[in-house]
Amino acid sequence: MIKSILKKALVTTALLTVATFSAQAKDTIVWWDFLGGGDGVRMKAMIDEFNKEHADTVEIQATTLDWGTPFYTKVQTSAAIGEGPDMMTYHLSRLPLGVSSGALSEITPEELAAAGIKGTDYAATNWKAAQVGGKQYAVPLDIHSIVLYYNKDLLKAAGLLGDDGKPKGLDGAANWDAALAKLTANGVQGLSTATADGATLWRIFYSLLNQQDGQFMTADNKFLDGANLDKAVKATTEMASWVKNGWLAPQTEYPASIALFTSGKAAFHINGVWEVPTMVDLAKNKKLGFEWGAVQLPTFYDHPATWADSHSFAIPNNKGKEVPAAKRKLVLDTIAWFDKHSLEWAGGGHLPAFSPVREGADFKALKPNSDYSTLAATAAFDPVSVLAGVASPVYDAAGNFLIPAVSGDLAPKDAMDQMRDDLQGQVQ
């Protein structure tokens, strides 16, 4: 009897030991992101899918923090004391600040290769934007840009809709202006965009500047130097003319600019791809009284170029907390999984950064995303500077100088002079 009890006790102990070992064998990945709204919902769904698929081996433990400056400040302070996450989402435009503050860990070519992550699987400009000083600090998840939303009914009536259902005759500043003039009639504006929002105006301005091969900031940290100033003035003057001629309303807040388009009171709308779900949902619920589409921004000047940024994945440089090579490999394997499954992420209007997904049949069937996928090849990423990128001094300067210039309260030349001087004064 005693032997039987002892035998059962030993078996129970052994089972508990195995169970404990198994529980401990499951890895965890601490993840931080700043994704709210529809993006947050989609990312949560992807994380849930990952966790279910890897239920026996690894679990992502995710936390969503406030977008913008609070997020990047939190990352910097946490990494400095070794308390950052294992991985995080990160805007490529903010990499220079993260690198300069020591908050980001370099990802070596050997580590990328071990996870099967290849630069050739991404658009060249997108992959380069994930580097600082020739070193890799992130892996892109998407390309998000501004696009041209359009009312097919209004364009068709004006003879500006092609047989393919896309706008025609818009390339060249003169043709674009003529289209706006033609469409502005009977209580309808040719264009709506958030003219009271510096970020939106920056994205349009930066697109027009890059279409002229203009450099907002040169390699030697000079803002709007030489002929670049003239190109900036040209871009700003064009944007100001839209308001001056009555084709675009000045000082329009972001929500109001969307409402003008969705109510049929504007033929075109320039905004980020992140508003695609808004249009899809309205159309699905029969709350949009017209057919709509979205395409790459027209080519106003020498060649196509459109402002872009990327949500990416990065690894913090947790000071005093050496991360085992096996854990870094697990993190990079996880990053590779998300890129390979980024079709779901594209539902938010984004272009998958991973070319095999972006060029696949399933994505090509996704409308209107695939109609503007051409911008991946001509994306113009923000200047590589600690002063540039989302929630940065450059965006602040856009609010201070571009808004009054476009609204007609400040001459384009004066606005660009002041914008240049303001930012040049912040260079250290």
Please count the helices (runs of H) and the strands (runs of E) in the chain.
18, 14
Inform me whether the pLDDT recorded for 89 exceeds 70.
Answer: yes
Inform me whether the pLDDT recorded for 136 exceeds 70.
Answer: yes
Q: What is the pLDDT of residue 428?
A: 82
Q: Which residues contact 299 (CB under 8 A, 6 or more apart)?
A: 171, 172, 211
Residue given tokens 């609204």 in the structure block: 407
Inform me whether the pLDDT recorded for 26 exceeds 50.
Answer: yes
Residues 327 and 319: their CA atoms lie apart, in Å, by 16
Inform me whether the pLDDT recorded for 24 exceeds 60.
Answer: no
Q: What is the mean pLDDT of residues 331-338?
A: 98
pLDDT tier, 9 (very low <50, low <70, confident <90, very high otherwise): very low
Q: What is the mean pLDDT of residues 303-327?
A: 96
Q: What is the pLDDT of residue 302?
A: 98
Residue given tokens 């910097």 in the structure block: 76
Inform me whether the pLDDT recorded for 313 exceeds 70.
Answer: yes
Phi-psi sector, 295: left (phi>0), alpha (psi -120 to 50), beta: beta
pLDDT in tens, 365-407: 999 999 999 999 999 999 999 999 999 999 999 999 999 999 9
Q: What is the pLDDT of residue 8?
A: 52
Give residue limits of the domains in the chain: 2-143+310-364, 145-308+374-424
Q: What is the pLDDT of residue 322?
A: 84
Cβ atoms 265, 189 nearer than 8 A: yes
21 vs 67 pLDDT, higher one: 67
Q: What is the mean pLDDT of residues 88-103?
A: 96
pLDDT in tens, 156-214: 999 999 999 999 999 999 999 999 999 999 999 999 999 999 999 999 999 999 999 99
Percent of all residues in the chain with a pLDDT value above 90, rounded to a whole number: 93
Residues 421 and 407: their CA atoms lie apart, in Å, by 21
pLDDT tier, 423 (very low <50, low <70, confident <90, very high otherwise): very high
- Please give the structure tokens belonging to residue 309: 């940024």
DSSP letter assigned to residue 271: E
Fold equal for 2-143+310-364 and 145-308+374-424: yes
Supply the DSSP string of 224-242, one letter for each residue.
T-THHHHHHHHHHHHHHHH
Q: What is the mean pLDDT of residues 24-35?
A: 91
Inform me whether the pLDDT recorded for 14 exceeds 50.
Answer: no
Q: What is the pLDDT of residue 11?
A: 46
| Mean confidence (pLDDT) of the chain | 94
The CATH code of domain 145-308+374-424 reads 3.40.190.10
Q: What is the pLDDT of residue 341?
A: 98
The CATH code of domain 2-143+310-364 reads 3.40.190.10
